[in-house]
Amino acid sequence: MAKVPVQFTLNGSEEAEFIDSGTTLLNALRDKIGDTSPKGGCHQGTCGACSVIIDGELRLSCLTLAETCSGAAITTLSGLSESGVLHPLQRAFLDTFATQCGFCTPGMIIAAKVLLDHTPNPSRDEVVEALSGNICRCTGYEPIIQAVLTAARANSQNAA
């Protein structure tokens, strides 16, 4: 079968690949481009581990065909730290012990980033709502909720 060209911006860098038609963005990112930060938990859109940001919106990369992303700007967890300095959300996840096995963490942080991009000072309920598409086995969620609230506070203090 003929390969399909796809070109998009990934974490600020241009990426161009030839992929099999029907390849999910998740598989293209992990297997073709080598960005393994989005995780394949369920491959059916129920766990949130593969979450990425496409043109500013939260998306499940396992339910997105790579060929529909041509021209898009895609952000994954790999793109959050800058010059080795952790993003405030990454810092907060570390500081509040919000990760154990770590498999859900990329999706959680991406979902939280989209929330904070739109709602810099979310209420607890808004955080819960934003994380409700992401499954975690280990933490019981409370440390993750606290991490997002901590990062939001840190952001607003920096902005002030």
Partner 1 sequence: MAIRRGRGVAAINYPTGMNLGGDPTQALVHSTPTGNFMVTLSSVDLGQGMKQIMAQICAETIGVPTDRVVVDTADTDTGPHCMGTFASRGTHRAGNAVIQAAKEARQVMLEVAAEELEVNASDLETDGQGNILVKGAPQKSISIFDVALSAHFKRGRSISGRGMFLIPRSYPEKETGAMKPSTCYAHACTVAEVEVDDETGEVTVLTVKNVFEIGRALNPKMVEQQLVGGSWMGISHALYETTEPYYPNRDNGGTDFNQYLMPGPGDLAETEIIVLERPSADGPYGAKGPGEMCANPQIPAVANAVFDAVGVRIDTLPITPERILRALKAQAAS
Q: Which residues of the chain form contacts with partner 1 (CB under 8 A)? A: 41-42, 44, 46-47, 97, 100-103, 127-129, 131-132, 135, 137-145
Nearest residue to 140 (alpha-carbon basis) of 128, 129, 130:
128
Enter the tokens of residue 39: 């995780």
Exposure of 110 by Cβ count < 10 A (0-12 exposed, 13-18 middle, 19+ buried)?
buried
Give the three-class secondary structure for 85.
strand
Q: Closer to partner 1 at the Cβ: 46 or 68?
A: 46
77, HSE (Cβ side, Cα atoms, 13 Å) = 27
Q: Closer to partner 1 at the Cβ: 53 or 104?
A: 104
